[in-house]
A and B are shown apart, each in its own frame.
Chain A
């Protein structure tokens, strides 16, 4: 079993977002970066599958060198080696093209990643990679069981879930409760230091989309408080003032 887990390097969920350089760049000052929470689920399930079935797990990140602490963390959690495609990606298409290029040279059985990155929230990289490789892609996957080359997948659909049986190789976008997030232990942290982290240059891809500017939402107005003793008056206000009923 050869597994590839793709991870993003994103601001922590509690980070305060702001922009610099005339609103053309994210202000990274004081922002804590983490492995994307959905990618963390993918990684945890990947590690479990490797432990049960044997094989290898490679972690892949398309991005700059400042992501290396997060890549080392993934190695400490249980990946065997890592690849960083050295680029500052502009869009999902670029990232997917890099992943597909690496994958086309390595014939992975399973390519796992989060259902979406929590910075740009597009949720399209797994689909793009699947199509670029000509293999099926499914998302969001909540449960994954393997028997040889057959996968049983539980996927969330609008208002419920669907169980599918599919054949490897597959590209899957993962979410909870596929596995519990793993915290690296001391031994993992020690061995991660010497595991290979290969840096490769990107393949060239046409500019599909180019980000221009960023902005923050307009600040929220004050909250109108209603005394608990007059709670029922809220409904009238929602109808006549807020006009949402």
Chain B
């Protein structure tokens, strides 16, 4: 039996969260006695796709049809189902994102498969197939048994620990894959795509420096950006900050924004309202800088500095620069 893993591409490279999905799928394959097969859709070099082998995949199905170059969850879900049928896959794995959830949902409905999104750890496979996932925006976890024959899992970032030093040197074989594309999946037309290409994406970022209303206004963001640059970090913000248009909406983190799970989250002038915490509680290490020692965020932090962000940020940037 094969485990099918869908990998998201970004400008022809496999996203980091998708490589985690491959490693996760390979582990499930070894637990259940199958092999890990990857599906990639759209433009990518063979050399890049072969890399999935280092994370435990045996084979990569690559559909290079130019119609699939632009993200299209309807057509992608169709292709995923066709790949699963061809490979006889009973377990399908995607990484959590807007695209991952959309594809997983449509594929699960087509395959009459049980679907669990937000999985945080490897499944238990002896005596039923059980997975644990985050619920209540990370305030709790649920263990769920999947009963259906075909199972669709959407995994969260850090659901599996990857030891980059211990990767295998094996390459996966890349096979051309030609799904039948349906006209009905292409009836919508894309008017424009507005993507900050140069920026690190929040979902993928290992480090995030995030600002709240304590940053006082968009014209004061430079010290935060400087620290982010020095650390190779992405930038995020609280909801009022994006509501006020100080920062773009896609940087808004929290219950009603993006949920992040970096190794390091540095909060600058954010009070730590429960709705903000809900979006960051998957972080490994949280640093809080706030001038108010009573700010609730300190209760959720690993390291805290009580003080004025505008005095502290430049000091941190200096220290971060001298690290390299």
- For B136, give its contact among A17, A130, A206, A212 (CB under 8 Å): A17
B304 touches A225 (CB 8 A): yes
Q: Given A157-B98, A228-B305, A244-B285, does the pair A142, B145 have CB atoms closer than 8 Å?
A: no
A133 to B, closest residue via Cβ: B109
Q: Is B306 an interface residue (CB 8 A)?
A: yes
Interface residues of A (CB under 8 A from B): 11, 13-14, 17, 19, 37-38, 91-93, 96, 118-128, 130-132, 136-140, 142, 152, 155-167, 175-177, 206-217, 220-221, 223-228, 231-239, 242, 244-245
Of A216, A237, A244, most buried by chain B (CB within 10 Å of CB) is A244
B145 touches A163 (CB 8 A): no
Interface pairs A-B: 5 shortest CB-CB? A127-B105, A228-B307, A208-B114, A160-B195, A131-B109
B148 touches A224 (CB 8 A): no
Collect the chain A residues with CB atoms within 8 Å of residue B196's CB.
159-160
Expressed in whole angstroms, the Cα–Cα distance for A177 and B248 within the complex equals 12
Expressed in whole angstroms, the Cα–Cα distance for A239 and B323 within the complex equals 9
**Residues of chain B in range 109-165 having any CB-CB distance to chain A below 8 Å:** 109-110, 112-118, 130, 134-148, 154
- For B141, give its contact among A13, A177, A215 (CB under 8 Å): A215
Q: Given A167-B187, A206-B148, A238-B285, does the pair A213, B142 have CB atoms closer than 8 Å?
A: yes
A223 touches B299 (CB 8 A): yes
Q: Is B188 an interface residue (CB 8 A)?
A: yes
Collect the chain A residues with CB atoms within 8 Å of residue B193's CB.
157, 160-163
Collect the chain A residues with CB atoms within 8 Å of residue B250's CB.
156, 159-161
Expressed in whole angstroms, the Cα–Cα distance for A93 and B108 within the complex equals 9
Main DSSP-derived SS at the A contact region: mixed
Q: Is B216 an interface residue (CB 8 A)?
A: no
Interface residues of B (CB under 8 A from A): 10, 71, 73-74, 77, 97-99, 101-106, 108-110, 112-118, 130, 134-148, 154, 187-197, 199, 201-204, 207, 231, 249-250, 255-256, 259, 263-264, 274-275, 278, 281, 284-285, 287-288, 298-308, 311-312, 315-316, 318-320, 323
Expressed in whole angstroms, the Cα–Cα distance for A228 and B98 within the complex equals 39
A210 touches B147 (CB 8 A): yes
A163 touches B117 (CB 8 A): no
A11 to B, closest residue via Cβ: B136
A223 touches B144 (CB 8 A): no
- For B274, give its contact among A13, A160, A215 (CB under 8 Å): A13
- For A223, give its contact among B190, B201, B256, B303 (CB under 8 Å): B303
